[in-house]
């Protein structure tokens, strides 16, 4: 999860919203990374999720479901907001709970 979230944020380094809006490949890459992040979150054990309620597990998995099951109507505004607003704090949270090298 950590590696995937970091990769998504790295793809946006130096990218403006206008750049993003004009770059379909970047948009699709972010959708894929968010989907992958959600799938990874879905596979985390219940015990681990319960021991780390500060991680928004349901929201992460829910976003994955929206992307996978409604892929013809992906809202790229939401993808942008997730990638720029939600992922940086999630990365910080994950760094606190994932041992180094196990992202």
Q: What is the pLDDT of residues 68-84, one digit of tens each?
A: 666 677 889 999 999 99
Mean pLDDT in the chain? 91
Q: Does residue 72 lie in a domain region?
A: yes
Q: Does residue 44 lie in a domain region?
A: yes
Q: Does residue 65 lie in a domain region?
A: yes
Q: Does residue 47 lie in a domain region?
A: yes
Q: The pTM is what?
A: 0.87
What is the rounded distance in angstroms from the CA atom of residue 3 to the CA atom of residue 95? 10
Range of the domain at 64: 2-97
Give the CA-trace dihedral at 94, 24, 81, 88, to 10 degrees. Answer: 30
- Domain count for the chain: 1
Q: Does residue 93 lie in a domain region?
A: yes
Q: Does residue 102 lie in a domain region?
A: no
């Amino acid at each position: 999860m950590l590696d995937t979230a970091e990769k998504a944020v790295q793809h946006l380094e130096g990218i403006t919203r206008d750049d993003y809006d004009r770059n379909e490949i970047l948009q699709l890459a972010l959708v894929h990374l968010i989907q992958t992040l959600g799938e990874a979150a879905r596979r985390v054990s219940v015990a681990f999720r319960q021991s780390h309620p500060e991680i928004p597990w349901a929201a992460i998995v829910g976003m994955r479901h929206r992307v996978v099951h409604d892929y013809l109507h992906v809202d790229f505004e939401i993808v942008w907001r997730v990638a720029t607003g939600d992922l940086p704090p999630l990365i910080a949270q994950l760094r606190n709970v994932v041992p180094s090298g196990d992202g």
